[in-house]
Amino acid sequence: MLEDITKELDNENSMDAIPRRNLELEPFDYQILHFCQSISMKKDTFNTLCKVIKIVEKGLKDCSNQLVYNECVKLGDDELIDFCRERLLQRSTKMKILTRHQSTDEIAEHVKSRIAKLRSVCKVIQTGLIAMDVHVEGEMCADLVLFTAAVPTDELVSEIVKILPTQIDKSLDLGVAIGEDSPRLIKVNGTILNERVTINIRLTTTEPLVDCAHSDEMNDNLRRVRRTNFWRSRWADTYSIMDEISALFIWLRRQENGSPLQCLDEWQLQLVIFFACGSLDASRLSPGDAVLRVFEALSSGMVQPNCQIIDPSEPVAVPFLSNLSSQRSADLMNWSGLCLRQCAFGRASDVFRIDVNNNYESEQSHEDNDDDNGEVDDCAHQSD
* CA distance linking residue 235 with residue 17, whole number of Å: 15
The Cα–Cα gap between 208 and 225 comes to 16
44-91+104-227 maps to which CATH number?
3.30.460.10
Question: Would you give per-residue pLDDT tens digits along the chain (384 residues)?
Answer: 445 544 443 455 567 789 988 889 999 999 999 999 999 999 999 999 999 999 999 999 999 999 999 999 999 988 899 889 888 886 444 444 444 444 556 667 888 888 999 999 999 999 999 999 999 998 899 999 999 999 999 999 999 999 999 999 888 889 999 998 888 999 999 988 788 899 999 999 989 888 788 899 999 999 999 999 999 999 999 999 999 999 999 999 999 999 999 999 999 999 999 999 988 888 889 999 999 999 999 998 788 888 889 999 999 998 998 788 889 999 999 999 999 999 999 999 999 998 756 544 444 444 454 454 444 344 334 444
CATH 1.10.150.20 for the 239-362 domain, yes or no: no
Sequence ranges of the domains in the chain: 44-91+104-227, 239-362
Residue-level pLDDT at 107: 62
pLDDT of 329 reads 92
* Cα(222)–Cα(231) distance, integer angstroms: 15
Nearest to 16 by CA among 278, 291, 241, 279: 241
pLDDT at 269: 96
Whole-number Å distance between alpha carbons of 201 and 161: 10
Q: What is the pLDDT of residue 371?
A: 52
